Structure 1
């Protein structure tokens, strides 16, 4: 089976681009995590931020029995590798009604990728809504975290992210939950995650020990 990166090279996705600070693309690191998913099982995958559909086709080819759901603020029309294993929803990721519609229909996901607006408030609130629908053996990925720091992205719409303080607050809450919720039986702490992994430009969160 070709690697995720090899598949992506023929799918017109910018996920093949090397990190600005390191020589690896996101996909070289994704391969490590996604290899723990059963390649041929009926996985459910949600990607926020579909754009030209390249990563949708990449995921369908990498997981030939997976059903992939896409959400984007803009209409996204492209040739889907397997239309029978894809459904698209148009809407904003900060619209809890559309998120509720998606989760009601699909119930849970093995992989959630947020490549949406890159606004801190959007991806934090999206994560807080969706994380309970992530399966125990699944992965939640938030991409393009370099956009947290607007002084390096003056031409981007993510200027509203200011200096990344809201992101730091989000991380602090997650770390508190990570270290206290199990040790002190503080089940009220949220989000209740097992691990947080940082890489150049993105983070991966899990609910259990999956390696």
Structure 2
């Protein structure tokens, strides 16, 4: 299903004709299964189901193409969400949502301007079934309408949740009593939300438990509806693989393993280091993966406290500028932003990143590094170096 998802994302980026060709090559049932899986992931039907007194609800999602159609029954109730053969109709007949499969793919994976509901039809149960309930009862359960509203909201790409809400929903500590990172992620990633992106996060979570963790991967998947998410962990986390989420087992302190991973899955638009937090590992990962980042990509380092704490992460507070620790390493890059302003060549040793980092943003325990060309020029510094008399000053000795 992951390959089908990738193919639909690429096709939706190009347009309806390419989506149609992809659907016809794979078959309607295969394409529809991928799209319905995505709709249900984003709809979070378990949330209204958990509300006290919500009752039961069911719906049928039908996707059509070229005179063919395929349908899936979804039932929601106090015991959770059931799909397909496991589902059973609720007390009322299910509502049916019908939509063209190409229109659905474009709504989910295409640029926002291609979202459309032109082919959509919602078939509610017969008035002979529904109207007497209004008059004589029992009342229509809240879930009856809620499940339809949630699915329609997804198909319309309407009012997407922010990262703080998604962090809580998916159980990641990026917003918790430990950290409040999501406000900063929202500021930097919000403008990128509807782009086709590849996001790589080092550190899946759950430690050695092969089935635990992955909360932030799911958060990124939902936040970036057209994104492909990759999680790198020293443990085997393949049990967490889902459509648009791929895990890779690799040691972040091993440059060859990281380079091999990046060659296979990159280039990445975003890399987030939430791994061991040990400075040698963080620095090795940056030196290896930053060159594999897209030219306008963003590299993020979380949990900078590891740079200071000797007990847990072998950090140090003795020299806050020491480049062998994460924060000192990043501080050196701040000088690199201004590499064209130094008057003496011996002031600092040039670094490979001087010309490829265009911005660095520090927050509490968090840093964002923007990749991009950093060659704006330093005209006054150039004159001070080469012809200071033009400014009425003496040259440096």
Partner of 2:290: 131
Q: 1:177 to 1:144 in 2, by over 3 A?
A: same
Contact 2:238 2:248 in 1 (8 A): no
Partner of 2:266: 107
Partner of 1:54: 215
1:98-121 deviations in Å (ceiling 9; x for gaps): 111111112311111000010111
Contact 2:198 2:266 in 1 (8 A): no
1:154-184 deviations in Å (ceiling 9; x for gaps): 3x2x0x2233532354134312321115989
Hey, which of these two has a bigger chunk of helix by percent? 2
Partner of 2:189: 34
1:43-67 deviations in Å (ceiling 9; x for gaps): 1000000010000000000111211
Deviation at 1:42, TM superposition (A): 2.2
Deviation at 1:138, TM superposition (A): 2.1
The counterpart of 2:199, out of the listed 45, 62, 66, is 45
What TM-score does the superposition give when structure 1 sets the normalisation length?
0.83
Partner of 2:351: 189
1:98-154 deviations in Å (ceiling 9; x for gaps): 111111112311111000010111111111111112223321110000121116xx3
Counterpart CA distance in 1 for 2:214 and 2:328 is: 32
Contact 1:178 1:194 in 2 (8 A): yes
Deviating 4+ runs (over 2 angstroms): 39-42, 75-80, 162-169, 181-184
Q: 1:79 to 1:129 in 2, by over 3 A?
A: closer
Q: State the superposition RMSD in angstroms.
A: 2.3
Q: What SS class does the counterpart of residue 200 from structure 2 fall into?
A: strand
Counterpart CA distance in 1 for 2:273 and 2:305 is: 14
Counterpart CA distance in 1 for 2:341 and 2:271 is: 24
Counterpart CA distance in 2 for 1:6 and 1:169 is: 33
**Can you give the 5+ residue segments of structure 1 that lack an aligned partner in the other structure?**
none
Partner of 2:91: none
Q: Is 1:95 the equivalent of 2:254? A: yes
Q: 1:173 to 1:43 in 2, by over 3 A?
A: same
Counterpart CA distance in 1 for 2:257 and 2:224 is: 25
Mapping of 1:1-211 within 5 angstroms? Answer: 1-18=160-177, 25-37=180-192, 39-51=193-205, 52-76=213-237, 79=240, 83-150=242-309, 154=311, 156=312, 158=313, 160-163=314-317, 165=322, 166-167=324-325, 168-180=327-339, 189-191=351-353, 192-208=356-372
- Count of matched residue positions in the alignment of Structure 1 and Structure 2: 195
Counterpart CA distance in 1 for 2:271 and 2:365 is: 16
